[in-house]
Amino acid sequence: MDHPVCPRCPLCLRPIPPEARQSLHHLIPKLKGGKGGPTVLLHQICHNEIHATLTEAELARDYATIEALRAHPRLARFIAWVARRPPSFHSKTPGGRRKR
């Protein structure tokens, strides 16, 4: 079923239907000066994967754009995997969290 009026997740490019778990991602982390900065609406599972993969410092320094996030090897593998799931799919983030 297509969702013509739904926003699209800029990470995985799937629609975000109203029933999907979703959240706003600060392109520059709030802790690194991004409070009030640009945000993007993502599927919750996509947002979780970003924060499981990258530290706040890495996000601020090297991954402050969707293009950079999509190019990260682990995130690229995740995107290829999640793209085959329905738009409202959610699960626990697999694999370990990044080291702090």
CA distance 57 to 28: 9
Q: Which residues contact 62 (CB under 8 A, 6 or more apart)?
A: 68
Write down the pTM of the prediction: 0.88
CA distance 26 to 43: 13
Q: What is the pLDDT of residue 92?
A: 77
Residues in the chain, total: 100
CA distance 27 to 44: 15
Q: Which residues contact 57 (CB under 8 A, 6 or more apart)?
A: 32
Q: For residue range 32-55, what is the model confidence (pLDDT) as tens digits?
A: 999 999 999 999 999 999 999 999
